[in-house]
């Protein structure tokens, strides 16, 4: 079972400074935080506390806490990160400390790579692709195929080999405090492995150079991209804590339009799909993004899994999927949603419950503008459920399901088939969340 409580007061922990001896020893010695009620806590070896969401279930989530010196790494380049991750089939516990910002779009020598570099030798060009699949000549009834689609896929494969980092089991990946630690342009892929911790990192500008046109997607077609900043596919026992996710500096407003549709180069920020299970997402900041968190990749993803706890996060400038939930049992509590428009990111909805999802949304706080309708904060397909209470809109207790149901024919159900028990740290009032979470969420506040 997990040890060393993370959920004790973060502010109390931060009031005691890192000792001068530890700072002088450098990042290789590890960063130590002091907890007034629990003694000394090593940030890199810290594990998820008991009862802290679904990821604490069963064996708990310990990541690389048992790593020996030979499997403890400090990395600051893409090549170093790849080497530290090693084989995705490895199970030996490892700790990876990221110092500074790693640019995924670099080669092994550190040279910057561009979209043109990935396209080189594949025969792909955007101009040729646009000409080949123009709806006025190609039509809208089938997916692209042929020479240019094969070239696009080949170029995308080249980029994926560079920007996708495959994480093995029993791993902790932690940003070194004070170094602006993070990954830009890359994706952490946590696939079919157990027991992973991701903390104190900024994930920015994860972009697909080669989106695919799908004329059958919706009434007008859509451009669809690859690469979430962090993606869970069939992963279990994952703790994502104190990270920041953002499109910046490449915001959607800078994207061109082709065939009358936005050329979307961003996918998700943190997606949890393909039978992933037992996940806790806490004290992160999600900002400046469209399709933010997908739980369940399809309506038939996986029954009996997709159990996720999402608490004490900030969502600001998010268009949708905060989260979009399918099939699973999802506890969404003590989050702050600032849904006022930001940098061109305008709200469609916050929480979507569909495909029979069983969501408990409890004691969250929404900040809205005068023009935004409360009925737009929730969404669904008529099969999902959202239970819960204590949700505030601009400080007023509001029944968000009732507001949605009053304006929609696809009603959200109000009862669920489970009762959350793994809810350490649950605050029964959301009133102070905006001020509290402004100081205690995202990368860079752990020390």
- Cβ neighbours of residue 190 closer than 8 Å, sequence gap 6 or more: 167, 196, 198, 230, 231, 232, 233, 235, 238
**13 among known catalytic residues:** no
DSSP conformation letters of 30-50: --EEEETTTEEEETTT--PPT
DSSP conformation letters of 275-289: T-EEEEEES-EEEEE
Tokens of 266: 């961003």
Question: Could you tell me the end-to-end alpha-carbon distance of the chain, in angstroms, rounded to an integer?
Answer: 25
What span, in angstroms and rounded, lies between the C-alpha atoms of 45 and 330? 27
User: Which residue among the candidates 78, 152, 321, 326 is catalytic per the annotation?
Assistant: 321
Inter-CA distances, 388 with 14, 279, 376, 416, 423, Å: 32, 20, 17, 9, 13
What span, in angstroms and rounded, lies between the C-alpha atoms of 393 and 76? 42
What span, in angstroms and rounded, lies between the C-alpha atoms of 440 and 363? 17
The count of residues in the chain is 447
- Give me the half-sphere count of Cα atoms (radius 13 Å) on the Cβ side of residue 36: 9
- Cβ neighbours of residue 81 closer than 8 Å, sequence gap 6 or more: 75, 96, 98, 102, 165, 183
Torsion angle of the four alpha carbons 402, 405, 411, 417, in this order, in degrees rounded to the nearest 10: -10
What span, in angstroms and rounded, lies between the C-alpha atoms of 354 and 326? 5
Contact between residue 308 and residue 420 where contact means Cβ atoms under 8 Å apart = no
For CA atoms 411, 414, 420, 425, give the dihedral sign: positive
DSSP conformation letters of 379-425: EE-SS-EEE----EETTEE--HHHHHHTT-SSPPBS--S------TT
Tokens of 317: 């400038």
User: At CA 169, angle to CA 299 and CA 188, rounded to 5?
Assistant: 65
What span, in angstroms and rounded, lies between the C-alpha atoms of 439 and 442? 9
What span, in angstroms and rounded, lies between the C-alpha atoms of 61 and 331? 18
The residues carrying an active-site annotation are 321
């Amino acid at each position: 079972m997990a040890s060393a409580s993370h959920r004790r007061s973060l502010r109390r922990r931060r009031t005691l400074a890192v000792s001068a001896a530890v700072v002088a020893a450098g990042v290789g010695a590890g960063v130590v935080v002091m907890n007034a009620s629990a003694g000394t806590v090593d940030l890199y070896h810290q594990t998820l506390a008991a009862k802290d969401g679904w990821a604490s279930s069963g064996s708990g989530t310990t990541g690389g806490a048992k790593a020996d010196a030979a499997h403890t790494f400090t990395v600051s380049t893409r090549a170093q990160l790849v080497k530290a991750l090693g084989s995705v089939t490895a199970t030996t516990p490892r700790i990876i400390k990221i110092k500074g910002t790693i640019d995924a779009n670099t080669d092994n020598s550190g040279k910057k790579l561009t979209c043109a570099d990935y396209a080189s030798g594949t025969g792909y060009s955007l101009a040729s692709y646009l000409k080949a699949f123009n709806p006025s000549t190609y039509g809208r009834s089938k997916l692209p195929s042929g020479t240019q689609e094969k070239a696009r896929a080949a170029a995308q494969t080249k980029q994926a080999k560079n920007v996708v980092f495959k994480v093995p089991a029993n791993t902790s990946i932690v940003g070194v405090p004070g170094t602006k630690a993070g990954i830009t342009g890359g994706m952490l892929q946590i696939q079919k492995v157990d027991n992973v911790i991701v903390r104190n990192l900024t994930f920015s500008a994860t972009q697909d150079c080669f989106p695919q046109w799908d004329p059958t997607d919706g009434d007008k077609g859509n451009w669809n991209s690859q690469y979430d900043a962090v993606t869970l596919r069939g992963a279990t026992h994952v703790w994502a804590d104190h990270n920041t996710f953002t499109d910046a500096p490449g915001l959607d407003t800078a994207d061109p339009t082709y065939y009358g549709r936005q050329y979307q180069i961003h996918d998700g920020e943190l997606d949890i799909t393909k039978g992933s299970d037992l996940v806790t997402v806490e004290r992160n900041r999600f900002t400046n993004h469209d399709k933010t968190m997908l739980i369940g990749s399809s309506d038939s993803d996986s029954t009996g899994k997709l159990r996720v706890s999402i608490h004490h996060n900030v969502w600001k400038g998010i268009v949708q999927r905060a989260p979009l939930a399918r099939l699973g049992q999802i506890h969404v509590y003590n989050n702050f949603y600032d849904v006022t428009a930001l940098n061109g990111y305008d709200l469609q909805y916050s929480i979507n419950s569909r495909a029979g999802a069983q969501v408990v949304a409890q004691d969250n706080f929404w900040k809205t503008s005068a023009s935004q309708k409360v009925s737009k904060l929730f969404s669904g397909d008529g099969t999902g459920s959202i239970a819960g209470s204590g949700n505030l809109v601009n400080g007023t207790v509001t029944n968000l399901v009732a507001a949605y149901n009053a304006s929609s024919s696809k009603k959200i159900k109000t009862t669920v088939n489970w009762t959350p028990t793994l809810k350490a740290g649950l605050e029964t009032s959301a009133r102070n969340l905006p001020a509290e979470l402004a100081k205690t969420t995202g990368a860079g506040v752990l020390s």
